[in-house]
Structure 1
């Protein structure tokens, strides 16, 4: 499963947490506001009743017919939020506001607060409970005020979420700059670069991990250097005694009479030659696994390839056919010696394992793609997958060290190239193809 970014997880997590906290705070604040609004509206009801009741008592007392109901005219027609009734103790209406609906009030007047399905009522009395006033307020009015307060608290959240996400992302990115720099430093490392990774001001949680990685790289570098040094030194030290022994066995064959001794001397000479070739391959492998595979300046591959193929044609009877691109130069950052070793192993492998009656085709394209193709039967897929491993050969009956393709792959990886095997060869029904895609460089 693909791992998610720490920056993404922190950004989303912090934004989500902040949003949930804001929602929780909004709900809490809304409940408080709703409670305070109810208290304010109740106080307004009570205050209105206390102010209207004395005026209503005075008005009713000065009437010629006190028991006659009277509508209070309004100066300007409007929708009343608060309506009232003034009644006697029997419930007879003595006075009412112009928009009052008697059906919404209690059947019998009472004091204090009451709540019906749609209204909040407040009643007060005067003249020793003989005159009552009730004020009615629609609950929808309160609910509308509560909704507006809730929207006022929630609307900023719509802008807060993207701003919080952006701000959190920027803050996390700035905080993780050293971690991102460490990641880029690791990603930029070549295959053979085992030097310590130095990034300043890493977080305290990451710094011990970086130190452990550097210690591991140092131990790995020392181990690989010891292995390469042993391989190179062993191969180098074997070269001189092998050459001397080979010269002595050749002299012995020249002096020995025909017979069993001549045959044994020939076998010994063949074994010594194979050992000398193995020694040479081990030295090439040590160079491929070491440094120095990249050149300081881009190298033109066309003359290097032409020279390498020309050398092989002089020794192999012109079995290598070369095809160069139309453009005059193809540049890559590979070291000339490393390119020579790579080309030598690919051509040697093609000549050794390819069909003897068919030429080896070597071509280079303008985008730095090197292809080496030989004839012969197709290699099974199960064998093809393991040919770049060390000491693996395609045909066990053909002598060889099994290191040629392994050395070529190591060099390709060391210079950032891609080595690909194909059988049958591209556009053919048989044959074997090795293609190396170099990173092309301008000059």
Structure 2
């Protein structure tokens, strides 16, 4: 593409592209309706003006031919010579009829000037005979003494007993009358077209205003709403073509309602969950202030430290859940080696597994990769593995399996703990919900781990499923990731 074409393309894209400023819809409609209309009216005015000029020329040429014929009737042959009997009274009547000055010339059979103005311009050789009249007449324009003329040249047969031939009668008139009629035609045409344009522009303005009235009503309806009113807007207020926009607005407001409701639930649940450990901390602190026995005070301080750790853990889980639920951690997805993330989490949590004498194993098949956020995947796998270690009895087993599949990647975490009853498997992904089996063994959980897992899986387009472990014992959690898309440049294998 040439530099000029590139500049034109860039200018058009800036003016009409998706990012171009839109301005006023009413003004754009008026411009797109009135500008073509003005062009069409101008073209029509020019066409009407040309037709008027052609009609005027026909009318004046007919009058000019009548004068030429009247003059030709006065040409005769006398004594072997062509003569023209043209009194001044006749010339005056010609000028009165044509409303202009008349010049004439009668040329005899031999080309001699019989009467009139001898220097009147001759007939050009390329002027065709007029087909509009049966007479042998030609019309042409010429300048005479610096003044434009319209001249009719008529061939008139003349004869008597002694001779026979063709005389040429030329009658020219000035263009004053034609120019006056031309100006009148132009003025009348512009006046009519201008009035028509003004009438149409007025109708278009009112029509555009009337058509856009429902949009203005919709605008006023939205502006009058209370800040907390997120109910649907009535799509019947606007035209059928605008209803998809209203539908999109209603869908957006519905999502906002869901988001606000989710935030309110989260704030209520978080405040409820934090109130208990904070109350315990306050009670423990008051007991420590009243205690004088160093040994007892030391025990209370140790209990405060344990409660603080649990509270910090709960707060961190709450912050993680809030960021994941409301998109605070969502960024551009990169290519992540899933096995490396799983291996790193297994190393980090190997010590708690060893302390409980658990058989912790990792099985990797292939080199599964996913498009995702390495930090969020790490958080998800940490929650799953931490729960498996926490709720598996001492001497049990925890198995991590990662493999590549034809449809993507599969992560499985299986333990030999108490498991989760089938009736509760859908509920355990709700924030702060804890299954009966986990409540029986551990009272200090927050009920947020699987909720965080679910939200991170959804962000990555993964499907999560719960099932019994091997032999119907324990719990197996399977997370199926979709196939990765084309890897972004420089983003491969990030962990």
**TM-score under structure 2 normalisation?**
0.45
**TM-score under structure 1 normalisation?**
0.50
Larger Rg: 2
